[in-house]
Amino acid sequence: MLPNLIGFDALAMSAFFSEIGEKEFRARQLLRWIHQRQVSDFAAMSDLAMSLRGRLPSLARIAAPEVVRDHTAADGTRKWLLQVDSTNAVESVYIPERSRGTLCVSSQAGCVLDCAFCSTGKQGFNRNLSRAEIVGQLWLASRLLAESGLEGRAITNVVFMGMGEPLLNLEEVVPALRLMLDDNAYGLSRRRVTVSTSGVIPGMDQLRDECPVALAVSLHAPNDALRDKLVPINRKYPLAELIKACRRYLERAPRDFVTFEYVMLDGVNDSPQHARELLGISARIHCKFNLIPFNPFPDSGLRRSPPDTVRRFSEVLQRAGVTVTVRRTRGDDIDAACGQLAGDVADRTRRSAAGRVIPITEVHA
């Protein structure tokens, strides 16, 4: 199959043109056509030599995932189900706000980590997405939003908070990040691109060294005993080691804090005592907490914390001087809210007799 240039960063694009005997500046031209104008037809790239436009279709292609479903929620949130191969589809979500537009992208078909509150993990894991499949989500969303009449730059922020654990796919995620940051492509600020992890410490260190962007950590519990149940990878990378990794990351991060995401589960992790335990964590790392109302999905066995419980929990943290935000639920009427993305995945994960995913901790990027 011909190489898919939608996933080529600047170095890869330069190497491609060098191999076919063209000058390096052609790489910058093609990056702009593909990512700034969302053009996939080589013939339409008018500042390329006509002879080159004639050659390129036999040498390469520009292809994004195929849209299977396109839903818009009452609040304007838009979710796409995207076919990435004959057996797998993933989901991307666009969240419009007054001052910004955020695209939530997926990095894997499914997820191996099986966090208790996340619908994606319940369907298991099939494979990592390629860099073309990751960047293709941004390319496609930019094109479709422009076609729907949104003026200017509709997407100002990208978050790797869709399906999958990004730090278990860094071989593909890092080149995708570089494209998103490249001024000849999307030109996003490092502060406006966020990678979320459940706490894969080797991946945190690698991302810090290769392409540090804003970091969010799915915390969800203030102690190891509870986090072992809610976020099983904690059994391999416990909280003390996770906090040390966060401190290392901040040495090179574009922001001077880590965002800890904390899903509020009724009667599970939402008591004032849990909040007081979190103060011990906040004392060891410059951070802010993003409290997330749990978004139900079938057979989860979990409930959303009542608003008064969330308020009291937040007040404990705020009175101690900790920065706290409460995420507004968006797109839950189309199952596009946090933790609800499910897609359609050919599960290759080993499962127990009870049907629970057995985390494959030896999977690395």
The predicted model scores a pTM of 0.90
CB atoms within 10 A of CB 86: 6
3 state DSSP class of 284 = coil
In this prediction, residue 361 carries a pLDDT of: 38
The boundaries of every CATH 3.20.20.70 domain in the chain are: 66-334
Architecture of domain 5-58 in this structure: Orthogonal Bundle (1.10)
- Asked if residue 260 lies in contact with residue 325, where contact means CB atoms within 8 angstroms, the answer is no
91 is catalytic: yes
The residues that bridge with 197 in the sheet, in sequence order, are 217
The pLDDT of residue 363: 35
Per-residue pLDDT of the chain (365 residues; tens, 9 = 90+): 899 999 999 999 999 999 999 999 999 999 999 999 999 999 999 999 999 999 999 999 999 999 999 999 888 899 999 999 999 999 999 999 988 999 999 999 998 898 888 887 777 888 999 999 999 999 999 999 999 887 657 899 999 999 999 999 999 999 999 999 999 999 999 999 999 999 999 999 999 999 999 999 999 999 999 999 999 999 999 999 999 999 999 999 999 999 999 999 999 999 999 999 999 999 999 999 999 999 888 878 899 999 999 999 999 999 999 999 997 765 455 454 444 445 566 666 654 444 444 443 333 32
> Does 147 participate in catalysis according to the annotation?
no
| pLDDT for residue 350 | 56
| Distances 208 to 22, 157, 215, 346 between C-alpha atoms, Å | 34, 19, 10, 32
Indicate which residue of 115, 118, 287, 338 is catalytic: 338
CATH 1.10.150.530 location in the chain: 5-58
Q: Which fold has domain 66-334?
A: TIM Barrel (3.20.20)
Q: Note the pLDDT of residue 364.
A: 34
126 Cβ partners below 8 Å, 6+ apart?
87, 88, 109, 110, 345, 346, 347, 348, 349
Q: How many residues are recorded in the chain?
A: 365
Q: What angle do CA 77, 79, 84 make, to 5 degrees?
A: 160
- Write down the pLDDT at residue 120: 76
Find the catalytic residue in 22, 66, 91, 261. 91
pLDDT for 334 = 47
